Structure 1
Amino acid sequence: MITVDTVCALIAKKLGSKATDLTLGADTAFDSVGLSSLQIADIVYTIEDDAEVELDPSQAANVKTVGDLVELVETTRAAGAAA
């Protein structure tokens, strides 16, 4: 299961020492913490691998916050389980 904490840990890893001054949570917007689009894409790909799901690219492009990403992964996983 992918959690907010999982995604926040990946963000902190990407940001390195810059993350020490940030409070990360479900409402954290990816663009507000200084991540590049490449770093965001890398986080999404890592989450896909960890959760063993493939996210719809158009839906993934609309993800703005940590909570949005967690919700998309869980919705995608549930849809896959129902299929």
Structure 2
Amino acid sequence: MITVDTVCRLIEKKLGSKAAAVTLDADTVFDSVGLSSLQIADIVYTIEDDAGIELDSADAANVKTVGDLVELVTAARAARAGA
């Protein structure tokens, strides 16, 4: 299961030593913590691999916060389970 904590840990890995300077939670906006679009894409791909799903690229591009990403993954997993 992909949770807010899971996504926050991935962000911390990408930020490295800069992670200590930011507070990460469901309301964290990806752009506000200094992640590049490539780093955000890498986080999305990692989550897709971990969850065994493929997110719609247009939906993934519209994700702005940690919570948005968790909701998108949850919806994708529910849709896959219902299919």
| TM-score bracket for the superposition, by shorter chain length | over 0.9
1:55 and 1:29 mapped to 2: Cα distance? 19
How many residue pairs get aligned? The number is: 83
For the aligned residue pairs, the C-alpha RMSD in angstroms reads: 0.3
How far did residue 32 of structure 1 move? 0.3
1:46 and 1:82 mapped to 2: Cα distance? 23
**TM-score, length-normalised on structure 2?**
0.99
**TM-score, length-normalised on structure 1?**
0.99
1:22 and 1:34 mapped to 2: Cα distance? 10
- For 1:38-49, what aligned pairs fall within 5 Å after superposition? 38-49=38-49
Question: Which structure 2 segments of 5+ residues have no match?
Answer: none
- Percent identity reads 80
1:55 and 1:49 mapped to 2: Cα distance? 10
- Equivalent position of 2:27 in the other structure: 27
Following TM superposition, the consecutive aligned residue runs of length 4 or more in structure 1 with deviations greater than 6 angstroms are none
